[in-house]
Amino acid sequence: MPKPAPETGDAGLLAGARKRRPLARNFFDAPPEQVARALLGKILVRRGTGGPLAGRIVETEAYLGERDPAAHAASGRTARNAVLYGPPGHAYVYSIYGLHYCFNVSCLPEGVPGCVLLRALEPLEGAAEMRRHRGLSESADLHRLASGPGKLCQAFGITRTTDNGIDLTSVESLLGLVEDGFLCEEIRATTRIGIRKAADLPLRFFLAGHDCVSGRRR
């Protein structure tokens, strides 16, 4: 069963990390279900005053746009979901009940809405900073830090005010998505979590058995 990488300190992790390359715009110019599966194993990175944060994506969900009753674009374009109608590869951040944020990536060509929700990450760098963001003790297990959409945003300090609309393909952005050649083993698909509409669609993807996957369906 895959487990989070051991903590060796940020300096050691950075020194030993494989060369990372930003994901290109055309990576996201594809159907959300394809992008959701392809994002597994890729890395979310953030630059900040507290040092770099990085986490490997281990769980995603696809939302198919206006044809998906569970998607924010189901009722058409609004000021809230405008990012989904823009170029692919941008951050779409929204809040749930005013309590938690969820982080998504826009997909498909400009003008056609679709996105992928990042549900869980395996912390790679900056675990101490993630714990501070989460309000957890220094001994809190790695698999607890970003094992859910709200936890992920809290660990990375992601909010709608600061991050909605960010170009995740630009090397100038403080938030980005990169690849390092990591190869996924078994990928599983299930129905999405916590929705009532279109709840039967198998659009949740995750690394089988990984300790950082949210919930019990691993």
* pLDDT tens figures, 64-75: 999 999 999 999
Indicate whether 39 belongs to any domain.
Answer: yes
* pLDDT tens figures, 188-205: 999 999 999 999 999 999
Give the pLDDT score at 50. Answer: 79
Give the pLDDT score at 99. Answer: 84
The DSSP output letter for 167 is B
115: pLDDT strictly greater than 60: yes
131: pLDDT strictly greater than 60: yes
Indicate whether 46 belongs to any domain.
Answer: yes
Total domains present in the chain: 1
Indicate whether 11 belongs to any domain.
Answer: no
Indicate whether 13 belongs to any domain.
Answer: no
* Residue range 164-174: mean pLDDT, rounded: 96
* Spatial distance between the Cα atoms of 157 and 72, rounded to a whole number of angstroms: 23
CATH number, position 82: 3.10.300.10
* pLDDT tens figures, 10-55: 433 333 356 899 999 999 999 999 999 999 999 999 998 778 999 9
* Spatial distance between the Cα atoms of 19 and 107, rounded to a whole number of angstroms: 25
172: pLDDT strictly greater than 90: yes
Indicate whether 182 belongs to any domain.
Answer: yes
Indicate whether 3 belongs to any domain.
Answer: no
What does pTM read for this prediction?
0.91
Tokens of 173: 């952005």
Indicate whether 212 belongs to any domain.
Answer: no
Q: Which domain holds residue 77?
A: 19-207
* Spatial distance between the Cα atoms of 175 and 166, rounded to a whole number of angstroms: 7
Tokens of 163: 């991050």
Indicate whether 162 belongs to any domain.
Answer: yes
Helix crossing, 149-156 with 127-134: angle to 10°?
110
- What are 105's strand-pairing partners? 91, 116
